Amino acid sequence: MAVRPHSRAALFGAVALSLSFADPAPAQIVVYDPSNFSQNVLTAARELQQVNNQIQSLANEAQMLTNQARNLTSLPLSTLSQLQTTIQKTQSLLAQAQRIAFDVQQIETAFTTTYGSASTNASSSGLIATAQTRWRNSVAAFEDSLKVQAGVIGNISSNGSAMSSLTSASQTATGALQAAQAGNQLLALQSQQLSDLVAVVAAKSRADALEQSRITTAESEGQEQYRRFSTRSGYQPGNVTMFHRN
């Protein structure tokens, strides 16, 4: 069926009217919000700071573990055997004490029989024999004292070497354990040196004491011999042969 001209114009008008009232298509528009952007930047900064703090914490823990490992590391140097050998040498010299040793029982016996006041019942030959024994005791004691002194002087070089090594080890210690062990060994070395000093003093004092006791006893015997001489009844003449005749 044919469309009339006036109907065709009305149709076009209706279509144009419907298009004019239709919703426009949504446009792609970017909106910038300054406050939201600042908040995002602050949030990112806080997260970055947290990450840095965690990294620093891990680094601190790693350093702490390293320090603990160093503190548990033992000192690679030990002078204990050397110190023990030195002490044994000094003890051996003291044990070689002649005649009257460093023994309480021997000393008591010697002063009961050999030293002290002269016996009024002893013969002249007996007094001379005990005097000779005391003299030998004094000589032996002085010899022992010199031996101990020589031994201690010989220890000075080895002690100096040990002290140098321990001091160097203490200064280069990598941890608390190494420093403590070096310090303990230095104290042990000092104790050994004090032991040597005690040994020298003991040996010298022993010699001096025996010599003084010898002198004191000799004075007592001299008084006894003078008493015996002064209480004699008098001179008894006798025949003395000066030359032998064939």
d(CA 87, CA 67): 37
Whether this prediction's pTM lies above 0.75 is answered by: no
Cα–Cα distances (Å) from 25 to 16, 17, 20, 22, 48, in that order, read 17, 17, 13, 9, 42
Q: How confident is the model at residue 3 (pLDDT cuts 50, 70, 90)?
A: very low
* Tokens representing residue 6 in the block: 């006036």
pLDDT digits (tens, 9 = 90+) for 43-99: 888 888 888 888 888 888 877 877 777 777 778 888 888 899 999 999 999 999 999
CA 126 to chain centre: 55
User: Which of 140-153 are b and which e, b meaning 16 or more Cβ less than 10 Å from the residue's Cβ?
Assistant: bbbebbebbbebbe
**Type of residue at 139:** V
If you average pLDDT over residues 34-41, what whole number do you get? 79
Query: According to the 3-state scheme, what is the secondary structure of 160-207?
Result: HHHHHHHHHHHHCCCCHHHHHHHHHHHHHHHHHHHHHHHHHHHHHHHH
d(CA 185, CA 166): 7
- Per-residue pLDDT at 170 exceeds 70: yes
CB 134 within 8 A of CB 213: yes
pLDDT digits (tens, 9 = 90+) for 98-145: 999 999 999 999 999 999 888 888 888 888 899 999 999 999 999 999
